[in-house]
């Protein structure tokens, strides 16, 4: 139950920070900024989805984490870590060719890792885990 509340608190803090970012900006957004907003909203929506799912499981009296959910999370995290290594290699390669500031590149990489994790979780969760 504590993890569920924590997920909602983190999602609210992220939305508050994005709101401050929007209101403190000059109002002229580049395509990269709009894409960043979209990705952040998708990641927050994923966190809220997981939080609601855990909350409904707790209300039904199911355990917070069973063996299958732990195995899915382990498979997802290992797969997303492996893919994220190649993502960072691509970011390092293209960072020399593009003229972006360092904090923009790092922020894009972190958002990319979140998107990779979300996609890996969706794939592993819906396709299932084979007996290995």
Give the pLDDT confidence of 82-102 residue by residue, as tens digits: 999 999 999 999 888 888 888
Identify the three-state secondary structure at position 25: coil
Highest average pLDDT, of 1-10, 43-52, 120-129, comes from 120-129
Give the pLDDT confidence of 30-83 residue by residue, as tens digits: 787 788 888 888 888 888 888 888 888 888 888 777 788 889 889 999 999 999
Indicate if the alpha-carbon torsion angle 95, 99, 105, 108 is positive or negative: negative
Q: Which of 39, 121, 109 is nearest to 79 (CA)?
A: 121
| Residue 64 near residue 57, CB atoms below 8 Å | yes
Top-confidence residue, 76 or 129: 76
52-82 in b/e form (b: 16+ CB < 10 A) is: eebeebeeeeeeeeeeebeebeebbeebbee
Report the pLDDT value the prediction gives residue 78, as an integer from 0 to 100. 94
pTM over 0.85, yes/no = no
């Amino acid at each position: 139950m504590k993890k569920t509340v924590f997920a909602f608190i983190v999602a609210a803090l992220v939305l508050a920070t994005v709101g401050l970012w929007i209101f403190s900006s000059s109002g002229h957004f580049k395509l990269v900024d709009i894409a960043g907003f979209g990705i952040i909203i998708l990641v927050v929506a994923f966190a809220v989805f997981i939080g609601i799912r855990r909350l409904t499981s707790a209300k039904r009296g199911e355990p917070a984490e069973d063996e299958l959910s732990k195995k899915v999370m382990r498979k997802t995290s290992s797969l997303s870590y492996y893919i994220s290594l190649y993502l960072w290699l691509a970011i390092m390669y293209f960072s020399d060719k593009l003229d972006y500031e360092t904090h923009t590149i790092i922020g894009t990489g972190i958002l990319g890792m979140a998107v990779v994790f979300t996609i890996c979780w969706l794939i592993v969760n819906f396709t299932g885990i084979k007996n290995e």
